[in-house]
């Protein structure tokens, strides 16, 4: 079992990375919905691509922590990390919903 422990500062940095990537993904997904509502489906597609790229980066940070904890690295969870995890999970849901909204707007617009 590893003796490595994350410091509060290290977990803060990881938390802010998750928050930043998830926040950018959430913003891009919402902008994609607005574009689709306006009939700008190509723009919506580009924004969703950006959202997906950003959520992948947030998920990588999350997965790294999970893997390290599974390997025996001690992780004491500060409130900031809980907030980051909440942002990640809610953004994942928003991305799924955004895809559905875009599909609905396409149907309304007769593009599908």
Evaluate whether residue 57 is within a structural domain: yes
- The parent domain of residue 53 ranges over 8-107
- Annotated active-site positions, please? 83
Q: Hey, which residues does 25 pair with through a beta bridge?
A: none
Evaluate whether residue 25 is within a structural domain: yes
Structural domains counted in the chain:
1
Residue with tokens 């410091």, as numbered in its chain: 7
Evaluate whether residue 91 is within a structural domain: yes
CATH, residue 45: 1.20.58.80
Cβ atoms 16, 86 nearer than 8 A:
no
CB atoms within 10 A of CB 24: 18
**pLDDT tens for each residue of 55-73:** 999 999 999 999 999 999 9
Which of 21, 25, 27, 91 minimizes the C-alpha distance to 61? 21
CA distance 36 to 106: 7
- The reported pTM is 0.90
Evaluate whether residue 112 is within a structural domain: no
**pLDDT tens for each residue of 3-58:** 688 889 999 999 999 999 999 999 999 999 999 999 999 999 999 999 999 999 99
């Amino acid at each position: 079992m590893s003796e490595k422990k994350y410091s509060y500062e290290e977990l803060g940095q990881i938390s802010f990375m998750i928050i930043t990537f998830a926040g950018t993904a959430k913003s891009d997904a919402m902008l994609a919905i607005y574009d689709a509502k306006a009939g700008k489906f190509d723009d919506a597609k580009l924004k969703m691509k950006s959202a997906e790229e950003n959520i992948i980066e947030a998920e990588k940070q999350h997965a790294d922590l999970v893997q390290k904890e599974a390997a025996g690295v001690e992780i004491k969870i500060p409130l900031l990390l809980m907030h980051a995890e909440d942002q990640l999970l809610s953004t994942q849901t928003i991305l799924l919903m955004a895809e559905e909204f875009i599909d609905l707007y396409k149907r309304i617009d007769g593009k599908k």
